[in-house]
Structure 1
């Protein structure tokens, strides 16, 4: 190794993951661990405290990769489109 020259290395960027995928995976992990997923996810979104989310299946690491407002937007969009039949733009 030549310490006189600058060494280059490339770090792979994290893969982008959608809010929808995060919510689905976190939901499954919470259910598997016996938690009420709605209460836990709402607690996280309201407080920003990641300890509401289990670390089982890397759920906690996943959920902090997405902004809380994106999670809320995804949940609300789904509700409006599926439950109310509305079109969200």
Structure 2
């Protein structure tokens, strides 16, 4: 029997098996395959939080919902800055 005077610990493990970058790439590909403008759809999702902007094709909607929207913005900005640094 457990001691009711002790605090129980619960640890949520995150699924780090796929990176944010990989998720963006897979979602982009799925949206393209379905004939959507991937940039517009991803921006719509990031701005609104409405997952229906992302197709369920190839599990893209479930994948993108695994990461927070601010993580998506961070990754996109990181890649943009990295590419701009090489252009200058």
TM-score w.r.t. the length of structure 2 is: 0.78
- Partner residue, 1:15: 15
- Partner residue, 2:60: 59
Deviation of 1:15 after TM superposition, in Å, equals: 3.4
Residue by residue over 1:34-89, the C-alpha shift from the partner in whole angstroms, topping out at 9 and shown as x without a partner, is 0000000000000000000000000000000000000000001100111x207xxx
| Distance in 1 of aligned mates of 2:47 and 2:14 | 26
Residue by residue over 1:5-57, the C-alpha shift from the partner in whole angstroms, topping out at 9 and shown as x without a partner, is xxxxxxxx663221101100000000000000000000000000000000000
Are 1:70 and 2:71 counterparts? yes
Give the count of matched residue pairs: 73
**5+ long unaligned stretches in structure 2:** 1-12
TM-score w.r.t. the length of structure 1 is: 0.77
**5+ long unaligned stretches in structure 1:** 1-12
- Partner residue, 1:5: none
